[in-house]
Amino acid sequence: MRYLTNKSTDPYFNLAFDEYCLENLFSREPYFFLWRNRPSVIIGLNQNAYSEVNLPYLDSHGITLARRVTGGGAVYHDLQNLNYTIIRRLPVPEPFSPVPEPVEGPSCHPEQSEGSSPAPLVTALRRLGVPAELTGRNDIFVEGRKVSGYARRVSGKQEIIHGTLMYDVDIDTLTKVLDTPGSKMRAKGIGSVKSRVANLKDYLPGFKSLDEVQAALQEILAAGDGPMDFPEDGLEKVKEMRDRKFSTWEFIYGHSHEADFTHKAKLPCGTVEAAVRLDRGLVKGLTFTGDYLFDEPASGLAAALAGCRFEKMSMAEALKDIPVSRYFRDSSAEDLLNLLF
């Protein structure tokens, strides 16, 4: 396969690069590129950011949250994870035949089909000595543990498949970013499938770094083919897509489906439980219960916050002119924010 080179580690740029190539860069033959992201969590197109990710942990550790345009579950990337993208033209449908034709010999297992699957990556990993296998979800497993997730999307006459290849990913951080402690959440959307995971480094003792592994995979996948031409204005268009879509609050959070959840904490006024209803990232309902002291019912405060973006900065701005201590005696706006977030 011919290939492109993308050295960016900006997840917003890289996701825009994926979509730009799918929708604008056509080739008769499949092509691929290998790329990496700085520490980030990438959620699927139909997932709810609030239910899938430990947002406070991301905020406190400088980890980026991004949304891709393919389906599937949330994944954690860092610089020891290698991502692959393969783009190819869709096959022309065969004419319909009402009479099934007989098939001779053993049938091809769907997991081993080259089209619409990461089978080329499995082949490449096996050539490097890794006993890789495809699952029915087109994830890649080694000895029963997951080393690669997969997602796919069709646009026009082309399809994109992309996924992860965990080389030496920080498993502890991966576990924490996808854990949502301290809340009771009910959300509409697609949930992540949690699996036992492993790093490929354990199965590649002959390689000293991910750079070496990437170079070896690049050589195997290219199989002697060279690089593809990239349009002169392509990078500027990718940057425009990054800024206009992939890095925006509207796409990352506002695309989320409805979510209902509760947070409970002890404030200076007593124990307070906040029940929040969100839709597309906006507060649609907010009620407070508990054994707390107050001067005025909190329904007035809830009404003032209706329609606000459910992000800490926006909520803090909305609370600037609201006397929070009237609704929660001796409590501050910061106390309330800590409860909500």
pLDDT in tens, 303-332: 999 999 988 899 999 999 899 998 998 999
Q: Are residues 44 and 115 in the same domain?
A: yes
pLDDT in tens, 98-122: 544 433 333 333 333 456 789 999 9
| Average pLDDT value over all residues in the chain | 86
Q: Which of 122-131, 280-289, 298-307, 330-339 is the least confident region?
A: 280-289
pLDDT of residue 114: 55
Q: What integer is the mean pLDDT of 204-222?
A: 97
How many other β-carbons are positioned within 10 Å of the β-carbon of residue 268? 13
Q: Are residues 248 and 275 in the same domain?
A: no
Q: Are residues 307 and 192 in the same domain?
A: no
pLDDT of residue 203: 96
Q: Are residues 173 and 302 in the same domain?
A: no
pLDDT of residue 227: 96
Q: Are residues 97 and 198 in the same domain?
A: yes
192 vs 150, which has greater pLDDT? 150
CA gap 340, 56 in Å, rounded? 11
Q: Which of residues 200, 219, 252 is at a domain's end?
A: 252
Percentage of the chain beyond pLDDT 70 is 87
Nearest by Cα to 286 from 255, 254, 319, 253: 319
Per-residue tokens: 198: 């492993």
How many other β-carbons are positioned within 10 Å of the β-carbon of residue 142? 19
Residue 193 has pLDDT above 90, yes or no: no
Phi-psi domain of 329 (left: phi exceeds 0; alpha: psi -120 through 50; beta: other):
beta
Q: Which of residues 252, 276, 305 is at a domain's end?
A: 252
CA gap 137, 150 in Å, rounded? 8
pLDDT of residue 255: 73
Q: Which of residues 204, 225, 252 is at a domain's end?
A: 252
249 vs 184, which has greater pLDDT? 249
pLDDT in tens, 52-99: 788 889 999 999 999 998 888 889 999 999 999 999 998 876 555 454
pLDDT of residue 333: 94
DSSP per residue over 128-182, as a string? TT--EEE-TTS-EEETTEEEE-EEEEEETTEEEEEEEEESS--HHHHHHHT--TT
Nearest by Cα to 256 from 311, 212, 218, 306: 311
257 vs 198, which has greater pLDDT? 198
127 vs 73, which has greater pLDDT? 127
Q: Are residues 272 and 215 in the same domain?
A: no
- Sign of the CA dihedral 19, 25, 29, 32? negative
For residue 257, name the pLDDT band (cuts at 50, 70, 90). Answer: low
How many other β-carbons are positioned within 10 Å of the β-carbon of residue 99? 5
Integer CA distances (angstroms), 331 to 45, 201, 266, 327, 336, in order: 38, 50, 10, 8, 7
CA gap 18, 234 in Å, rounded? 12
Expressed as residue numbers, the domain containing 102 is: 2-252
**Residue 272: what are its φ and ψ, rounded to 5°?**
-125, 135
Q: Are residues 43 and 67 in the same domain?
A: yes
pLDDT of residue 214: 98
Q: Are residues 159 and 15 in the same domain?
A: yes
**Number of domains forming the structure of the chain:** 2
Query: Tokens 């190819």 appear where?
Result: 88
Q: Are residues 241 and 322 in the same domain?
A: no
Q: Are residues 187 and 54 in the same domain?
A: yes
In terms of DSSP H, where are the helices of 44-118? 49-52, 55-61
CA gap 165, 7 in Å, rounded? 16
Q: Are residues 37 and 123 in the same domain?
A: yes
How many other β-carbons are positioned within 10 Å of the β-carbon of residue 191? 13
Give pTM, 2 decimals.
0.74
CA gap 130, 198 in Å, rounded? 12
The domain that holds 264 is classified in CATH as: 3.30.390.50
The domain that holds 210 is classified in CATH as: 3.30.930.10
Q: Is residue 125 a contact partner of residue 140, using CB atoms and an 8 Å limit? A: yes
Q: Are residues 265 and 195 in the same domain?
A: no
Q: What integer is the mean pLDDT of 21-25?
A: 95
pLDDT of residue 103: 38
pLDDT of residue 55: 87
